[in-house]
Every structure is written in C-alpha cells, then in structure tokens.
Amino acid sequence: MKLLCGALDILGYDALVIDPLARFHQLDEDKASGMAPLLRTFREIGDTRVLIVVHHEGKHLEGRLAFGGPLGHRARGTSAFADLHDNYIALTKTKTGVRIEREHKYEASPDPIDVAVGWTDGNVHWEVAEPPTAATLPTRIIAYVAQHPGCSTQAVKDGVTGRADGIVRALEQLQAEGRIRVEVLGQAKCWYVCS
C-alpha cells in the first residue's frame, strides 16, 4: 500500500480504482479483524484522494438480491465494509437491464434508477425508466410505517432506502411534526402513522 500510494504521488494521480477488491488482497473477507487493517488504509487513502473499490454483493433474500435496506450491508463478507464508504453505488442485474442504487453517508439517498438495456440492429441502447415517484425520505418512511404499523426503528431502517442516521433523524422530525407517533414497549420503539 505504501508503494502504491507513493506511485500515485509521484505520478500525480488523484484517484485510485481497485477492481475487484477480492483480487487485491489475500485476507478473509468474512472477518472484520482480518479486513480492519486494509479498510483502515482505504479510509486514509480516501481522505486525500478519490478511492473507488469495486466489490461484489453476496447477501441474498429468498433467492434474489435483497433490494432495500442499507446498501453497504449487501456487500460480500464482513459488515465492516458498510462503514468504509462515503458514497455507495450498487449495480444489480434485473430482467430487463440493471438497477442503479446510490447511498450517501451525509444525505438522504435518491430513488433507485432502473435502466433497460436492449439491442436493435446490432447496437446496444439504454433507456432510463422514470421512477414511479420522486418520494422524499420522509414520504417513503410514512408509506412504510403505514404499510407496517407497529414496526420497529430497525425495521424502518431495513425497509426504507436511505442512510440509517438520516432515517433516524427523519423519524424524529416526523414525530415532532405529529405525522407519526411512537409507542415504547420495553426497549423497543414501535412506529405508527397518525390519523
């Protein structure tokens, strides 16, 4: 890593792309303790230049990749990967093309983009599908809680696309506005839409 960073400095490059991560190291990706030194080094590199790490998703739900929930938790191996990124872009193959999902550490995540890919006369063409709604994070939270009355804070984090800290702030704001309410059962918070 020191040699690599030195070469980047000598050549004057401001960005480093590691593609794919699995071929870059010989560590056990399932163990946070094994990956910690590499991830710490990545964080240091990312503080001074652009670092793009291509990694594979490995978390499946009912035989398919799990849409929804924090994107970083879908990465193969230790969940420590979820704490590494400032921005996370997930490309997932769909029946008609790809879904692009984005997650940002410091702001609410935008809606996913579905891109249809096709061939016409030997040429590839791309068509971006308009999202069914450009719903804001609070709107998505209200819709989720309405569909899942009594859901926990963790269920909202898992079921609504967005950063966990942004979702918690939005829940608190919606509660302060009187749009949702919370009931505390033991240590659990259960959320409901106000009627």
Cis preceding-peptide flag for 20 (omega within 30 of 0): yes
Least confident of 26-30, 36-40, 122-126, 128-132: 128-132
Q: Quick one: pLDDT band at residue 130, thresholds 50, 70, 90?
A: low
Listed range (83-87, 92-96, 146-150, 173-177) with the worst mean pLDDT: 83-87
What is the biggest distance separating any 2 CA atoms in the chain, rounded to whole angstroms?
63
Question: Which domains, ranges and CATH numbers included, belong to the chain?
Answer: 2-129 (no CATH), 137-193 (1.10.10.10)
- Residue 22, classed as helix, strand or coil, is helix
How far apart are the C-alpha atoms of 137 and 167, rounded to whole Å?
Answer: 7
Q: Cα separation of 151 and 144, whole Å?
A: 9
Q: Give the model's confidence band at 61: pLDDT under 50 very low, under 70 low, under 90 confident, else very high.
A: very low
pTM of the model: 0.53
HSE of 114, CA atoms in CB hemisphere, 13 A: 10
